[in-house]
Amino acid sequence: MKIAVIGTGMVGRNLAAGLHKAGHDVVIGTRDPQQTLARTEPDAMGTPAYPQWQQAHPGVRLLPLAEAGAHGEVIVNASAGAHSLAALEAVGAANLAGKVLLDLALPLDLSQGMPPTLLVANDDSLGEQIQRAFPDARVVKTLNTVFTDVMVDPARVPGEHTIFVAGEDPAAKDTVQRLLRDFGWPQTAIVDLGGIRAARGVEMYSRLYFDLVAVIGNFDFNIAVVRTK
Tens of pLDDT along 40-97?
888 777 788 999 999 999 999 999 999 999 999 999 999 999 999 999 999 999 999 9
The pLDDT score that the predictor gives to residue 46 is 78
CB atoms within 10 A of CB 27: 21
The pLDDT score that the predictor gives to residue 43 is 77
The pLDDT score that the predictor gives to residue 5 is 98
Cα–Cα distance list, 25 to 1, 103, 167, 226 (Å): 6, 19, 24, 36
Cβ contact 157:221 at 8 Å: yes
- Report the distance separating Cα 186 and Cα 143, nearest Å: 14
Taking residues 210-219, what's their average pLDDT? 95
% of the chain residues with pLDDT over 90: 90
- What average pLDDT does the structure give for the chain? 96
The pLDDT score that the predictor gives to residue 191 is 98
Q: Which residue has the higher pLDDT, 198 or 43?
A: 198
Q: Please name which of 168, 170, 182, 173 lies closest in space to residue 128, comparing C-alpha atoms.
A: 168
pLDDT digits (tens, 9 = 90+) for 133-143: 999 999 999 99
Predicted TM-score (pTM) of the model is 0.95
Main-chain phi, psi angles of 166, to 5 degrees:
-150, 135
> CATH classification of 2-216 is 3.40.50.720, yes or no?
yes
The pLDDT score that the predictor gives to residue 12 is 97
Whether the predicted pLDDT of 25 surpasses 80: yes
Query: Phi/psi class of residue 191: alpha, beta or left (left: φ > 0; alpha: ψ in -120 to 50)?
Result: beta
Main-chain phi, psi angles of 7, to 5 degrees:
125, 130
Domain ranges of the chain: 2-216
